[in-house]
């Protein structure tokens, strides 16, 4: 909860500073002179509500959504040695990382993957695929679990959700201003919101959202290096490097759906490195090898 409070407090401070900067630059006066009468402070607050609401709801529902999307079967009473071993490893690493015992589950897919999610670092979910258990050694699986436990301990789910909310806030804010400029200045619409406003705002949201995703993906890649280092600390650097090498040997691993891809272990990424949620595996291996 403290992480959420501090992050929200920081965002409020950013909004206050931006509001002051707008006043000092006379942006409101400039827009008024063009016939664009916008209460920038009110728009900023409305944008924050719109931008943050979806992210907060998504975060609150993350465990439930993950269980439904991936068909995760929780291990409540171990049915075999593998399930008992998983619970033991997760409990051991959770204690080392200083977090509460997460729920532990398995989802059916032949690809080697795993993810962690949850709104609270003391009430998270760690799930591994059947493919991971079949294709990796116990040492490698232990390292992968350490990677996911580190995501939980670092509060990455909360940070990523709130960061996405902030990005959404400013995308909506500037897209709305662009919509007003097009509607009032270019199309000379003097009454209400015309079709030009809605079309321009929609196009601007798509374009700005595309650019904003670069920032989100950059942070996601940075976070992966931290999770790898944490996995190496919990399970051993050799085991973490071996697990990443095992992922390299996978033939076209399947991505996790939606936002879960940012919290998985393999993460292939998109069209280029700029749009990848995970750094290339060779870079992650090199980073671990360079740890002194």
For residue 17, pLDDT over 80 is answered with no
Looking at beta carbons, which pairs linking 248-251 to residues 24 or more positions away fall under 8 Å? 248/281, 248/282, 248/285, 250/111, 250/112, 250/135
Alpha-carbon distance of 221 to 217, in angstroms, equals 6
Report pLDDT for 252.
44
Of 238, 105, 99, 206, residue with least CA distance to 155:
99
For residue 289, pLDDT over 50 is answered with yes
Give yes or no: 252 in active site.
no
Distance of CA 113 to the CA centre of its chain: 17
The count of domains in the chain is 1
> Percent of the chain beyond pLDDT 70?
77
Q: 80-133: per-residue pLDDT in tens?
A: 999 999 999 999 999 999 999 999 999 999 999 999 999 888 999 999 999 999
Reported confidence tier of residue 190, pLDDT bands at 50, 70, 90: low
Of 134-143, 172-181, 218-227, 235-244, the least confident: 172-181
Q: What is the mean pLDDT of residues 255-262?
A: 55
Binding-site residues for Zn(2+): 147, 151, 224
Alpha-carbon distance of 86 to 204, in angstroms, equals 47
Q: What is the mean pLDDT of residues 139-155?
A: 96
Residue 221, judged by CB atoms within 10 A of its CB (0-12, 13-18, 19+), counts as: buried
**Who has greater pLDDT, 34 or 218?**
218
Specify the pairing of strand 123-129 against strand 103-107.
parallel
**Who has greater pLDDT, 120 or 194?**
120
Residue span of the structural domain in which 5 resides: 1-292
Alpha-carbon distance of 63 to 58, in angstroms, equals 9
The two tokens of residue 72 are 């995760």
The pTM score is 0.80
Active-site annotation holder among 83, 140, 148, 250: 148
DSSP 262: G
Q: Helical H runs in 98-189?
A: 130-135, 138-153, 156-181
Of 40, 46, 35, 50, residue with least CA distance to 177:
40
Averaged pLDDT score across all residues of the chain: 83
Looking up tokens 């995970």 gives 278
CB 89 within 8 A of CB 145: yes
For residue 142, pLDDT over 90 is answered with yes
The two tokens of residue 209 are 């959202």
Report pLDDT for 266.
55
CB 58 within 8 A of CB 93: no
For residue 155, pLDDT over 60 is answered with yes
Binding-site residues: 147, 151, 224
**Who has greater pLDDT, 270 or 256?**
256
Alpha-carbon distance of 117 to 148, in angstroms, equals 9
Give the strand order in the sheet containing 103-107.
73-74, 103-107, 123-129, 114-120
Q: What DSSP letter does each residue of 73-122 carry, written as one string?
A: EE-SS--SHHHHHHHHHHHHHHHHHT-PPPEEEEE--SS--EEEEEEETT
Q: Any bridge partners for residue 116, and if so which?
A: 126
């Amino acid at each position: 909860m403290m992480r959420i409070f501090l992050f929200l407090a920081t965002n409020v401070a950013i909004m206050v500073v931006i509001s002051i900067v707008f006043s000092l630059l006379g942006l409101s006066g400039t827009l008024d002179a063009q016939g664009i009468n916008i209460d920038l402070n009110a728009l900023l607050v409305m944008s924050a509500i719109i931008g943050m609401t979806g992210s907060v709801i998504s975060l609150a529902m993350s465990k439930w959504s993950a269980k439904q999307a991936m068909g995760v079967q929780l291990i409540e009473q171990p049915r075999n040695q593998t399930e008992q071993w998983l619970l033991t490893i997760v409990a051991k690493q959770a204690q080392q990382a200083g977090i509460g015992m997460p729920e532990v589950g398995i989802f059916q897919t032949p690809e080697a993957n795993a993810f962690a999610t949850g709104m609270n670092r003391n009430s998270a979910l760690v799930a591994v695929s059947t493919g991971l258990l079949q294709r990796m050694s116990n040492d490698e699986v232990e390292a992968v679990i350490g990677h996911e436990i580190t995501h939980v301990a670092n509060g990455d789910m909360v940070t990523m959700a709130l960061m996405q909310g902030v990005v959404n806030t400013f995308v909506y804010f500037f897209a709305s201003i662009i919509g007003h400029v097009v509607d009032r200045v270019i199309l000379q619409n003097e009454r209400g919101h015309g079709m030009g406003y809605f079309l321009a705002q929609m196009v601007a949201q798509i374009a700005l959202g595309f650019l904003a995703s670069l920032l989100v993906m950059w942070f996601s890649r940075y976070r992966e290096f931290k999770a790898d280092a944490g996995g190496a600390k919990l399970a051993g650097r050799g085991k973490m490097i071996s697990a990443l090498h095992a992922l390299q040997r996978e033939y076209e691993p399947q991505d996790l759906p939606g936002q879960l891809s940012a919290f998985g272990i393999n993460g292939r990424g998109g069209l280029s490195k700029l749009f990848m949620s995970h750094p290339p595996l060779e870079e992650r291996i090199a980073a671990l090898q360079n740890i002194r």
